[in-house]
Structure 1
């Protein structure tokens, strides 16, 4: 494979200010893509953009976005397409997690999670599809093991990820004939700050090497994005002893 299999392509990553999103932006830039970085924290996005430009010499675009807001998502895609002249890859990565049981989760907390994990994915996908159809590009969803197996300790989060997975595969059937590749990447535990707003993060809970690193998920996303003419429908990523207790 060429050193820059994504040379000149335009990629957009949501939730790009940290964790899997930040690592994915680096991986896509490494492979030659121009990368638009979307998240709410503009300063963090600018820091990520500077690192990417310094390390990979890649063109970046910072697009502050709240994926819960329909107009903000529309502007995110329109700005990316305007600045880059098109769109070749969308990575739907932005998401929230809470661990409450159903009876303990407040309505506001529920709505915030669903608006982020479900509505935000829908808004971004809807806006991106016409451009991806034109470029015969890639639509990539960051799912979760929670979207495949029952998750007693965070059922609402799990349900949102089941939705993402079902939505992605149904969209695949809808736009695949138009040349758009659709991929779902399902990590289990990833050592990031994910969940820190509501308690102990995975970065705090696990030592290096105990669980998947964000760069490993990013490499899987980049692998899917570099397929030319084929689709990687689904990738599961987890530590080798994940099922050792069963």
Structure 2
């Protein structure tokens, strides 16, 4: 089957990796259903699609991954319009900075609702159609899905859950011809990050006994993001995973991501990771 006859549904395409992935998948010949929670924020996506000359291959639709009815309607719409669904790219997500003592449990529930349960629900609804097409599920995880990062407790908890869910699902789905992959970016220069930055001064001010550690953490990570890869570069890895004949389960998007993933995956007692993340706080 040619790429032009294949359909991929992508969540979280208003900016960043999601937007770049939608454009690059269309450039690779796929029919793209680019979804976002608020279609009023689709101007940047539409402009990028037009600039790339792929408007006819991209359909913009609303999808709120925290609303099961919205998920069901989006998938049903793809099947009604195109008759098939060949891939889902779970990209929608939210960030959260702070430690549990300050943020409380509700912050964890909110992040898990989007970053974990949203992935679970869309994957669940899509699986029968992906089984019919011999398709695949690709999910944007993060190095935060492998390495617990200071002051990212809720975010990392959600991404760890995503990786556990999909690592468990992958061999089961494979028995029915569906391939499952997670993509793990390291630092990426995107609006996902810049949306968190304005909250930092207030978080530092209200961090109580963690004030010095939080200030040091922010200074360290700000330096890391000076060498962040672009959303387009990260998206190229996502699209390569989409188009690969036999994609691996776990894919990193940069040399830094591969280096840190290697530390974690060989760290039997956790000391190597603590040696990396501990100095971020001093």
TM-score class normalised by the smaller sequence: 0.7 to 0.9
Which residue pairs with 1:148 in the alignment? 146
1:117 corresponds, among 102, 115, 118, to: 115
Root-mean-square deviation (Å): 2.6
**Which aligned pairs between 1:1-246 and structure 2 lie closer than 5 A?**
6-45=3-42, 47-57=44-54, 58-200=56-198, 210-228=227-245, 230-240=246-256
Q: Cα offset for 1:240? A: 4.5
- Give 3-state SS (helix, strand or coil) of 2:34's partner: strand
Contact 1:38 1:65 in 2 (8 A): yes
- Give 3-state SS (helix, strand or coil) of 2:151's partner: coil
| Structure 1: distance between partners of 2:138 and 2:106 | 28
- Give 3-state SS (helix, strand or coil) of 2:182's partner: strand
Contact 1:90 1:139 in 2 (8 A): yes
Contact 1:61 1:80 in 2 (8 A): no
Which of 1 and 2 has greater Rg?
2
- Give 3-state SS (helix, strand or coil) of 2:188's partner: coil
Alignment CA distance shift 1:144-1:109 (3 Å) = same
Q: Cα offset for 1:43? A: 2.5
**TM-score, normalising length: structure 1:** 0.88
**TM-score, normalising length: structure 2:** 0.77
Alignment CA distance shift 1:239-1:210 (3 Å) = farther
Higher helix proportion, which one?
A: 2
Which residues of structure 2 form unaligned runs of 5+?
200-217, 261-274, 277-282
| Structure 1: distance between partners of 2:168 and 2:224 | 37
Aligned residues: 240
Q: Cα offset for 1:7? A: 2.5
Contact 2:187 2:225 in 1 (8 A): no
